[in-house]
Every structure is written in C-alpha cells, then in structure tokens.
Amino acid sequence: MPKVTIAENILAGNDNTAEAIHRRLAARGIRALNLMSSPGAGKTTLLERTIAALRDRLRIGVIEGDIETTADAERIERAGARTVQINTRGACHLEAQMIGAALDQLDLAGLELLVIENIGNLVCPAAWNLGEDARVVLASTTEGDDKPAKYPQMFAAAEVLVVNKLDLLPYVDYDMAKVRRHALAVNPRLRIFELSCRTGEGLDAWCDWIIAFARGDPGKTGDP
C-alpha cells in the first residue's frame, strides 16, 4: 500500500487545513471518522471486524497512523479496505497536514467512509482536528474504569465511545456503570457502544451506527 512518512516539524494552521480536508471529503460525499484510543485498546482489530462485516454494504477507506511499522495497514488491507499508512517517526498524534498528504495517495472514487486510525495515545490526539465528521474514542475493559475521569479531554472531544474487550470482563475489575457515568459527566451527548471484537458481541449495533453515520442518517446517528 502507499506509505507517507512525515517529518516531525510540520504544522501551521492545523484547523484551516482540517477545514479544507473536510470540504474535500464532503464534496465527494465521504464521511470521516477519527478513531482514537490508548495503545492496544483494539483500534485495528475493531476496524478489521467492521470492514469484514460491511464489505458488501459500505466502501471504506482507512488512513493508518503509527509512529513506526506498516503492520496495521497490512492488516487493514488484508481485511479489504483501501489503505494508506502514515508513519510519524516519533510524533505522538496525527495532524491535518498529514491527512492531506495521505489523501493524495488514496483512491477516493466511490468511497463512502474514511476512517483515520490515530496514534495510540489517549492524550495528545484529542487536541488535533483532522477534518473528520466525528470522533470515536475506544476504551477497553482491561485498561481500568478510571479512564474517563483521568483523561477527560479525550472523552469530551468524542461523539462516540466504544468499550471493547467485553469478553474479558469476568477476569478484570471494571465497573461499566462507573465508566458510563464518568464519560457522560464530561460529555452528556456521548453515544456508547459495548462490544467484543473477539466474540463479535455488540458488533452489529456498532456496524448499524457506522452505516447510518456514513449515509448521514440523522435519526440514527444523533446528528443535529
């Protein structure tokens, strides 16, 4: 797949660049998601499962952000989506200019949904607009139920919270009600999905939302 390597020192006017990206995608009818989480919460696996489940129903493109390696982009490409890898070489988040460079290498024809998988980092990515229509924060049951309280900016910046690794709930101390309560305290409009990428539990509801979101169905996505 194409690969864009970004130097660390770019950036000026991120919001302007993000706005231009948003217009560029909207002109083609492409909706965009910015997917963020801690390292290892399961962003790539969630994308693999989503792409596989929706293969015949939705044309999805992916921009894979990683500090190093193309391993995740290779997984996504195998799952069946057009993919561009961004390697930031140390930078801890994606910026809009990186997305612009990646879009130049992605075949946008016919795409309905673009998913931008951000760097694994629950802090810095929350501050950078990438031109997306919505932000999804992915949490997992193995990383503790204190995350919404300890990383409120990320949960405040997101439209959707997905809690992954439901299958491991019996083996960890994770109070789902507390997570919901704290997440909704910092962000009352947050839409929350609970699922397991391993067992498939809860994936249908998430995929239904993805389709409604990509088609711009306001009733189903909660958009204004």
Residues at the interface with a copy of itself (CB under 8 A): 38-41, 66-69, 71, 90, 92, 119-124, 140, 142-144, 146-147, 149-153, 165, 167-168, 171-172
Nearer to a copy of itself, 152 or 222 (CB): 152
- Round to whole Å and give the CA distance between 105 and 117: 16
Instruction: For the CB of residue 205, give the shortest distance to a copy of itself in the complex, in Å.
Output: 23
Nearer to a copy of itself, 80 or 171 (CB): 171
Instruction: For the CB of residue 72, give the shortest distance to a copy of itself in the complex, in Å.
Output: 8
* Long-range pairs of 169-176 with CB within 8 A, sequence gap ≥ 24: 169/141, 172/141, 172/142, 173/145, 174/141, 174/142, 174/144, 174/145, 175/145, 176/141, 176/145
* Residue 201 neighbours by CB under 8 Å, 6+ apart: 166, 167, 195
- Round to whole Å and give the CA distance between 106 and 83: 7
Nearer to a copy of itself, 34 or 221 (CB): 34
* Nearest by Cα to 11 from 121, 105, 124, 133: 124
Instruction: For the CB of residue 160, give the shortest distance to a copy of itself in the complex, in Å.
Output: 18
Nearer to a copy of itself, 8 or 223 (CB): 8
Instruction: For the CB of residue 26, give the shortest distance to a copy of itself in the complex, in Å.
Output: 30
Instruction: For the CB of residue 151, give the shortest distance to a copy of itself in the complex, in Å.
Output: 6
Nearer to a copy of itself, 146 or 223 (CB): 146
The DSSP code sequence of 193-208 is: EE--TTT-TTHHHHHH
**Rounded to 5 degrees, what are φ and ψ at 74?**
-65, -40
Instruction: Name the token pair of 55.
Output: 């293969």
Instruction: For the CB of residue 193, give the shortest distance to a copy of itself in the complex, in Å.
Output: 19
State the sign of the Cα–Cα–Cα–Cα dihedral 147, 149, 154, 160: positive
Strand partners, 62: 83, 115
Nearer to a copy of itself, 109 or 177 (CB): 177
